[in-house]
Structure 1
Amino acid sequence: MMIIRYIQQKDIHDLYQLAKKAGFGLTSLQPDMEILAARIDRAVKTVEGKLDKSEQGYLFALEDTALNKVVGVCGIEVALGLKEPWYNFHVGTQVHSSEPLNVYKALPTLYLSNNHTNCSELCTLFLDPDYRLNKNGKFLSKVRFLFLSAFRQYFEETIVAEMRGFSDEHGRSPFWDAVGHKFFDMEFAKADYLSGTGKKVFIAELMPRHPLYVDMLPDEAKAVIGAVHPNTVPAYNLLIEEGLRYKGYVDIFDGGATLQADIEHLRAMKDSHVVRVEVVQQENIPVADAPYIVANDDYDHYRAILVYSSPAHDVLKLSEEQAHQLHVSDGDSVRVLNIEIQKKS
């Protein structure tokens, strides 16, 4: 069975293997044992309530219980930019006009921004390629929305998600080559690694403080502004389904789109609901067309599973094994969310 739970210290080696598979561009998941151990420690202390808001970040593990192996990870940062600046580029417009010359030009620009300070963030989403089946990807991505709906009080008004931008199989980023490399004189992979390991001071020290005219960039770089890596397209589409939108903010390294939404407007805030558990024999559970994410809403011991049964009359039938994995009993409450978007007729 596949379950989602909080990350634990024992998961460090599995997390390291995932980080090695992630490749270039996933800034928050670098294959560095010391950094990963610190990230797990921060996640554990967040749940325990031992950190200030500026340091809080949740990290969830997708575990294959048959192998006792972590095969996916996803996270939520509570509040960006309160301890150190959180940067991106805002794609804006500058108008140049001259009435005597009958000239009017509206030019797109890139401007260094800290506008997402104090926003919450969806982050660190990665699933082992061998497990990209049976809706595991949707489960891993969308469980964060169920968590947000259950524990809304821990998060800010706006949620953002920084999408991985385009880079080729060799780790080359056209956007970085045209923009960042001019100011940093280092390869994309190294800058990405330094940022991911928390060494971000160089961004403030070296990034341009004045607008950059997009039209002055090479066509190859212009083409990837606001785009996402091919491997990230499914994750991008899932977030769009749940209510996030591109508002003209892009990553300063690879130009990948940053999506955002008011948490109150997320689909899960409206469609998730709490039902009562009825533990029955497996053969007595009706099979639904689409699976539901089911979570126990136990903050200290949060767990979620995917079930192919739907609630009826505010009751959800679970097998003994499913109830055991969720740490719930007959009569307990769970929160459910249909993993698919229901089309309105």
Structure 2
Amino acid sequence: MLVLRPVEPTDLPQLQQLARDSLVGVTSLPDDREHLGGKIAASCASFESNASAQGPENYFFVLEDQDHQRLVGCSEILATAGFNEPFYSLRNRHFTSASRELHIEHGVPALSLCHDLSGHTLLRGFHIDAALVRTPYSELLSRARLMFIAAHAPRFAEAVITEIVGYSDEQGQSPFWDALGKHFFDLPYVEAERLCGLQSRTFLAELMPQYPIYVPMLPPAAQACIGRVHPDGQEAFDILEREGFETNSYIDLFDAGPTLYARTGNIRSIADSRVATVREEPRIDARGRYLVSNDALHGYRATVAELDYQPDQPLALTPAMCAALKVSHGGNVRVVAL
């Protein structure tokens, strides 16, 4: 059985292997043992905290194949983007110029450095084993984070964002970075992303031009990257789009990947999830596939299960499901259709 749970210190060696396999551009998952160890410690402290309001907490989850005691994925929630330092993005909007004498009005798209998205809750760090891509376990890895937010709403913002990895070629070259960022840092895209993951985007963002960058002045290949999703990031995009997330006028600072946005209360896994009382049964006459989680904090667990769910009725779970979710007869779980 595959179960999503909070990361633990003993996960470090396997987590580092996931980082090695992750897509370039997933800056929150760098292949650096010391940095990952710090992330694990910060996550453990966040899950153990008694926070009653939104703060700097970072919740890191891993997807574990319990039968083989192997990690096959990870994902993350940062409660507040930009809590300790600005969360920089590029805002893509039209600048309009006009001449009354010539009766001409013309709009030109331009990119402006901003930190408008500071204060939102940020989903990041999504990575799953290649063998599980486009399976229900990808849905579990992404959406169980949202069910956690539903269970602990005061800890999170009224809006949630995520940055989808933008386009780069098989050699790790980003046409957008080469046309823009590289001129200010003289670093290849892969190295810039690595530094961003190990330190922060702030030190790089502060060296970016503070004035608008007019899109038509960029090479066509760079323009084509604006809002473009890396093929390996398409699944993460599709899952959240089905959840009600939408693109907006913001793009990633380095590779121009799209930013997705949703009001927290409108997200499907939050709005449609329901709490049910557990009835332990040896067998289930399953009628459908669901995501099911407990509403715990540091003991949070979530999995995919074939269930017979009826609204406002006790939910039958097998002993194996109860053990995986760390719940017992008479306890509560949260459930939403897959």
TM-score, length-scaled by structure 1? 0.94
Identity %: 34
> Is the Cα–Cα contact under 8 Å of residues 144 and 291 in structure 2 kept in the other structure?
yes
1:205 to 1:133, Cα distance in 2 relative to 1, 3 A: closer
Distance in 1 (CA, whole Å) between partners of 2:125 and 2:34 is 17
Q: Which residue is equivalent to 1:118?
A: 119
2: distance between equivalents of 1:199 and 1:61?
Answer: 23
Answer whether contact 1:54 1:80 (CA < 8 A) is retained.
Answer: no
Shift in alpha-carbon separation, 1:105–1:266, aligned structure 2, 3 A: same
Q: Is residue 54 of structure 2 the alignment partner of residue 32 of structure 1?
A: no
Q: What is the match of residue 168 of structure 1?
A: 169
Shift of 1:72: 0.5
Query: In 2 relative to 1, CA 54–196 (structure 1 residues): closer, same or farther, beyond 3 Å?
Result: farther
1-structure distance, mates of 2:178, 2:34 = 29
> Following the alignment from structure 1 to structure 2, what is the Cα–Cα distance between the partners of residues 221 and 310?
50
CA distance in structure 2 between the partners assigned to 1:40 and 1:126 by the alignment: 16
Q: Secondary structure at the match of 1:123?
A: strand
**Aligned residues of 2:73 and 2:127 also touching (Cα < 8 A):** yes
Contact 2:159 2:262 in 1 (8 A): yes
* SS of residue matched to 1:206: coil
**Does the CA-based 8 Å contact 1:123-1:162 persist in structure 2?**
yes
**Is 1:254 aligned to residue 255 of structure 2?**
yes
1:101 and 2:102 matched: yes
The alpha carbon displacement at 1:55 in A equals 3.3
Letter in 2 for 1:95: T
1:112 offset after TM fit, Å? 0.3
Give the letter for the 1:293 counterpart.
L
**Letter aligned with residue 325 of structure 1:** A
Contact persistence 1:42–1:55 (CA under 8 A) = no
Between the aligned partners of 2:330 and 2:132, the Cα distance in structure 1 is: 33
* Residues 292, 310 of structure 1: 8 Å contact kept: no
* Equivalent residue, structure 1, for 2:299: 301
Please give the residue correspondences for 1:330-341 in structure 2 after superposition, counting only pairs within 5 Å: 330-339=329-338
In the alignment, which residue of structure 2 is the partner of 1:343? none
In 1, the alpha carbon distance for the partners of 2:247 and 2:172 equals 24
Distance 1:117 1:293, change over 3 A: same
CA pair 140-176 structure 1, distance change in 2 beyond 3 A:
same
Equivalents in 1 of 2:92, 2:138: separation in Å? 30
Q: Secondary structure at the match of 2:321?
A: helix
> Alpha-carbon deviation of 1:199?
4.0
- Name the counterpart of 2:278: 277
Could you say if the C-alpha distance between residues 318 and 54 of structure 1 is closer, same or farther in structure 2, counting changes exceeding 3 Å? closer
1:201 deviation in Å? Answer: 4.1
Letter in structure 1 aligned against 2:251: V
Cα RMSD for the two superposed structures: 1.5
- Equivalents in 1 of 2:331, 2:140: separation in Å? 22
Aligned length: 336
Matches of 2:228 and 2:146, distance apart in 1: 23
> Which residues of structure 1 form unaligned runs of 5+?
340-345
Query: How far apart, in 2, do the equivalents of 1:35 and 1:295 lie?
Result: 29
SS of the residue corresponding to residue 17 of structure 2 reads helix
Tell me what 1:327 maps to. 326
Q: State whether residues 55 and 155 of structure 2, in contact with CA within 8 Å, keep that contact through their aligned partners in structure 1.
A: no
Show structure 1 runs of 4+ deviating over 3 A. Answer: 50-55
Residue 30 of structure 2 aligns to which amino acid in structure 1?
Q
Name the CA distance, whole Å, in 1 between partners of 2:153 and 2:50: 19
Letter in structure 2 aligned against 1:243: G
1:185 maps to which residue? 186
Secondary structure of the structure 1 residue equivalent to 2:167: coil
Residue type of the alignment partner of 1:260: Y
Unaligned 5+ runs, structure 2: none
Is 1:274–1:314's contact at 8 Å kept on the other side of the alignment? no
8 Å Cα contact 2:47/2:59 also seen in 1: yes
How far did residue 330 of structure 1 move? 1.2
Give the counterpart letter for 1:264 in structure 2: G
Alignment partners' CA distance in 2, 1:123 and 1:199:
14
Q: Which amino acid aligns with 2:153?
A: R
